[in-house]
C-alpha cells in the first residue's frame, strides 16, 4: 500500500485523508472540529494553537500502520486568512479569516491610496475587498502597532501548516493570488500594493515556489508530533478552492466546480488570465499552473443552517419541507447576508426574508427560498464566465450542498447546466493528496491532468440535469436581482 496524505484546514474543521494511490481509494480519514471567534463588528477569527491541536488530533485518529506508509503530503487551506508570526514562529495575534468583514475601512484606505478600483484591479486582478489578506495586514498595523513591530512571517492558513510540517517559509501562486498583494498575470508580488501598507512589507513576504515544487520535507519535530515518516516531501499545497479544482478534475476549459459550504464558490480552469472583478469574478492563479477565475460568496449553507436552526428542524426535515414547496417558493425571497457579503461587496449587509403574503407565508417556502438564494448568488458568477467567452459543459458540485438531491436539482435548474458529483466528498483534501503525488513523481504540467483523469471519479447516481423548472427560475432570478438592487443601498454605508 502506497499513500499520499491530504490535509484540508477548513473554517469548521481540519480533515486528513490517506489516499492509497495504487488502489485508487481513500484508505482512512479523520477530522477535528475548529472553533470560531465571532463579533458584531464582523470579526471572524481563529487561533494557531487550535490548528496545531487539530492537526495532531486528526493524525492520532488514523491507524499508525497507515501513517507509517505515507510517502508525500499535500495541504489545502481556507483562503485569505492572515497568520502573523514572530521571528521564532510564534503567533502574534489571532488568525483573521476569509469571512472577517471588520476591515472595510482599510479597504477604502488602500483603494484610495492605490488610485482607485481600476488601479487595484490592474495590479491584483481583483478589487480590494474585506475578505482578502491585504486589508487584514493593514488592520493589524493600525490597531496593534507594537505587535506590528515584531512581525516576521506573513502566512496564509495552508502555508502555516506547511511551515509546521517543514519549518520552511514559502508560498505558491494559487493561494498568494488571493491576498490582494499579488499580480496573478505576472505571478509575482506587487511592490506597489505592498508599499501602500508599509515600506518594508515586500521584504517580509515569502519566496514563491512553483506549483510542482516541494515546500520542503517533513521535519523531525513534525514527524514525531504526527507519527509520520521524516523527510518525505510536502508539496506546495494551495487554497481550498485550488485544491478543490484538482480534487474534482476541473483541470481543463469547460468544466466548473461549485462548492456549497459555509461559503459558496464557483470556479473553472483557464489557460490564460481571466477576471471580471466588478462582477465578482476574481482573477486567481491555479495551484497546478494556469489560472482559476473564481466567484466567492460568504453566505451559502449559512443561510439554510440559520433558518433550519430558527425553525428547530433536522437537516432531513428541512429538506423535506423545502421539497414540498414549488420552484421559486411562490415569490418568497431570501437575501442570505448573515455574515455581511463579499459578492456583492456589502460587508455591512444583513439577511432578510421578503415577498411574504397571506397565501405564501409558510415554512416550506422560506426553507426553499433559503436554498435557492445560495444558488442565485452564485449564478452571477456563471453569467460573468459566459460574458468572458467561457462555455460551461458541466458543474461539479462539492460541499454540504452536494449531499442533498434537492439542492443538486435546484443547482441544475437555476444554472441550466448539467451537474455531477465526485465520489469523494473531501475534494480539497483529495486534491491536496493528488498534488502531493504529482510532486512525488516530479511531474510535468500535463501530468497533473492525467493524474486527475486516473484518480478523480464521479458518482453517476448523483448527477442532475436541467428540468422543467428552468423557466420559472429565470423569472425568480430576475426578481432576486431586482430585490438585491433595491436593498443594497441600505448596506453600503452603514
Domain boundary among 218, 240, 262: 240
On the question of pLDDT at 407 being above 60, the answer is: yes
Domain of 147? 3-240
Q: Which of 273, 481, 289, 286 is nearest to 388 (CA)?
A: 273
Active site residue 240: yes
Tell me, yes or no, whether 296 lies in a domain: yes
Tell me, yes or no, whether 251 lies in a domain: yes
Residues 178 and 203 in one domain: yes
Q: Considering only 32-46, 280-294, 355-369, which range has the smallest mean pLDDT? A: 280-294
Residues 469 and 334 in one domain: yes
What is the arithmetic mean of pLDDT over 454-479? Answer: 96
pLDDT of residue 493: 52
Residues 256 and 386 in one domain: yes
pLDDT digits (tens, 9 = 90+) for 79-107: 999 999 999 999 999 999 999 999 999 99
pLDDT digits (tens, 9 = 90+) for 136-167: 999 999 999 999 999 999 999 999 999 999 99
On the question of pLDDT at 127 being above 80, the answer is: yes
Mean residue pLDDT across the chain: 95
On the question of pLDDT at 28 being above 50, the answer is: yes
Tell me, yes or no, whether 15 lies in a domain: yes
Tell me, yes or no, whether 267 lies in a domain: yes
Residues 138 and 285 in one domain: no
CATH code of the domain covering residue 9: 3.30.420.40
Residues 54 and 83 in one domain: yes
Residues 308 and 382 in one domain: yes
What is the arithmetic mean of pLDDT over 377-388? Answer: 90
The count of structural domains within the chain is 2
pLDDT digits (tens, 9 = 90+) for 268-278: 998 888 888 88
Residues 201 and 267 in one domain: no
| Percent of the residues in the chain that have a pLDDT greater than 90, as a whole number | 86
pTM: 0.89
Residues 22 and 161 in one domain: yes
Q: Considering only 48-52, 83-87, 253-257, 459-463, which range has the smallest mean pLDDT? A: 253-257
CB atoms within 10 A of CB 252: 15
R_g of the chain, CA atoms, integer Å: 22
| Residue of 100, 159, 175, 240 marked active site | 240
pLDDT of residue 339: 85
Domain boundary among 193, 219, 240: 240
pLDDT digits (tens, 9 = 90+) for 320-378: 999 999 999 999 999 999 988 888 888 889 999 999 999 999 999 999 999 999 999 89
Tell me, yes or no, whether 447 lies in a domain: no
pLDDT of residue 271: 86
Tell me, yes or no, whether 430 lies in a domain: no
What is the arithmetic mean of pLDDT over 210-235? Answer: 97
Tell me, yes or no, whether 346 lies in a domain: yes
Tell me, yes or no, whether 438 lies in a domain: no
pLDDT of residue 343: 85
Q: How confident is the model at residue 32 (pLDDT cuts 50, 70, 90)?
A: very high
Q: Which of 259, 260, 232 is nearest to 74 (CA)?
A: 232
Domain boundary among 196, 225, 240: 240
On the question of pLDDT at 494 being above 70, the answer is: no
What is the arithmetic mean of pLDDT over 165-170? Answer: 98
Long-range contacts of residues 414-417, Cβ cutoff 8 Å, at least 24 apart? 414/372, 414/375, 414/376, 414/379, 414/473, 414/477, 415/258, 415/375, 415/379, 415/382, 415/466, 416/466, 416/470, 417/256, 417/382, 417/392, 417/393, 417/466
Residues 277 and 160 in one domain: no
Residues 188 and 291 in one domain: no
Amino acid at each position: 500500500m502506497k499513500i499520499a496524505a491530504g490535509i484540508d484546514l477548513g473554517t469548521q474543521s481540519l480533515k486528513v485523508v490517506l489516499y492509497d494511490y495504487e488502489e485508487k481509494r481513500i484508505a482512512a480519514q479523520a477530522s477535528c472540529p475548529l472553533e470560531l471567534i465571532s463579533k458584531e463588528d464582523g470579526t471572524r477569527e481563529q487561533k494557531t494553537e487550535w490548528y496545531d491541536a487539530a492537526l495532531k488530533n486528526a493524525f492520532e485518529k488514523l491507524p499508525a500502520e497507515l501513517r507509517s506508509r505515507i510517502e508525500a503530503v499535500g495541504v489545502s487551506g481556507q483562503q485569505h486568512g492572515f497568520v502573523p508570526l514572530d521571528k521564532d514562529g510564534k503567533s502574534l495575534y489571532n488568525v483573521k479569516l476569509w469571512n472577517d468583514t471588520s476591515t472595510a475601512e482599510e479597504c477604502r484606505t488602500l483603494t484610495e491610496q492605490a488610485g482607485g478600483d481600476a488601479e487595484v484591479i490592474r495590479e491584483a486582478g481583483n478589487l480590494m475587498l474585506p475578505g482578502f489578506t491585504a486589508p487584514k495586514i493593514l488592520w493589524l498595523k493600525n490597531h496593534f502597532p507594537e505587535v506590528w513591530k515584531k512581525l516576521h512571517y506573513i502566512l496564509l492558513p495552508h502555508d502555516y501548516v506547511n511551515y509546521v510540517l517543514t519549518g520552511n517559509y514559502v508560498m505558491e501562486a494559487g493561494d498568494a493570488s488571493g491576498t490582494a498583494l499579488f499580480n496573478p498575470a505576472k505571478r509575482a508580488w506587487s511592490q506597489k500594493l505592498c508599499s501602500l501598507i508599509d515600506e518594508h512589507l515586500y521584504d517580509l513576504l515569502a519566496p514563491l515556489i512553483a506549483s510542482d515544487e516541494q515546500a520542503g520535507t517533513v521535519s523531525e519535530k513534525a514527524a514525531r508530533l504526527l507519527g509520520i515518516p521524516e523527510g518525505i516531501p510536502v508539496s506546495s499545497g494551495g487554497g481550498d478552492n485550488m485544491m478543490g479544482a484538482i480534487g474534482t478534475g476541473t483541470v481543463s476549459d469547460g468544466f466548473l466546480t461549485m462548492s456549497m459550504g459555509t461559503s459558496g464558490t464557483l470556479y473553472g480552469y483557464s489557460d490564460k488570465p481571466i477576471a471580471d472583478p466588478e462582477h465578482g469574478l476574481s482573477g486567481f492563479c491555479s495551484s497546478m499552473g494556469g489560472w482559476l477565475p473564481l466567484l466567492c460568496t460568504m453566505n451559502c449553507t449559512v443561510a439554510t443552517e440559520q433558518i433550519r436552526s430558527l425553525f428547530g428542524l433536522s437537516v432531513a426535515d428541512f429538506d423535506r419541507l423545502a421539497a414540498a414547496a414549488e420552484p421559486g417558493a411562490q415569490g418568497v425571497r431570501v437575501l442570505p447576508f448573515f455574515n455581511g457579503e463579499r459578492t456583492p461587496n456589502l460587508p455591512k449587509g444583513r439577511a432578510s426574508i421578503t415577498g411574504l403574503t397571506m397565501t405564501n407565508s409558510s415554512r416550506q417556502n422560506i426553507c426553499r427560498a433559503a436554498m435557492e438564494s445560495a444558488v442565485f448568488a452564485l449564478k452571477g458568477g456563471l453569467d460573468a464566465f459566459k460574458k468572458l467567452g467561457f462555455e460551461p459543459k458541466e458543474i461539479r458540485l462539492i460541499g454540504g450542498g452536494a449531499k442533498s438531491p434537492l439542492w443538486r436539482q435546484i443547482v441544475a435548474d437555476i444554472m441550466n447546466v448539467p451537474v455531477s458529483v465526485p465520489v469523494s466528498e473531501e475534494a480539497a483534501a483529495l486534491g491536496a493528496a493528488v498534488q502531493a503525488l504529482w510532486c512525488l513523481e516530479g511531474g510535468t504540467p500535463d501530468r497533473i491532468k492525467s493524474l486527475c483523469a486516473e484518480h478523480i471519479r464521479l458518482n453517476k447516481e448523483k448527477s442532475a440535469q436541467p428540468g422543467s423548472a428552468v423557466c420559472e427560475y429565470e423569472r425568480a432570478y430576475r426578481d432576486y436581482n431586482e430585490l438585491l438592487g433595491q436593498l443594497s443601498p441600505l448596506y453600503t454605508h452603514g
